[in-house]
Amino acid sequence: MTGDLPPLLPLWAEISVAVLVLSGALIALLGSFGLLRLRNFFERIHAPAIIATLGCWCVMYGALLYFSFRGQGLAVHLLLIAAFIAVTVPITTIFLMRASLFRARQMGKNVPPSLSTPTDSTQKANR
């Protein structure tokens, strides 16, 4: 029966995994407090981006270390997950910010003007 059990991790690996996973969870917790504390959408949009990238990478490194020691080799699929998150989170954040700015401009709120549509001052400067 003892041959069926996977090998135990060294103590330094267990501590490293625990520190990485707990730090990722702590980052997610702090980011969720940021969501509660910040007042409007334009301020709140930064907290999930930090949670998703930094928290995900900490948990991913912990899982990579754990499954690499428990399995037959390097757990590369975890690196792919983290790479996809690192690519998609900034793109999603940009799309959300642009949609929110467009909606705020349509409602007449005081937000920065669009850079793609010329204003009267830029038209006069170009003449």
Q: What is the pLDDT of residue 68?
A: 87
- What's the mean pLDDT when you consider all of the chain? 83
- Which of the residue ranges 42-46, 83-87, 94-98, 123-127 would you say has the lowest mean pLDDT? 123-127
The residue among 17, 19, 22, 44 whose CA lies nearest residue 33 is: 44
The answer to whether the beta carbons of residues 58 and 14 sit under 8 Å apart is no
Q: What is the pLDDT of residue 23?
A: 95
Q: In the chain, what percentage of residues exceed pLDDT 70?
A: 86
pLDDT reading at 17 higher than 60? yes
Write down the pTM of the prediction.
0.72
Q: What is the pLDDT of residue 120?
A: 61
Q: What is the pLDDT of residue 16?
A: 95
Q: Is the dihedral of CA 19, 35, 95, 115 positive or negative?
A: negative
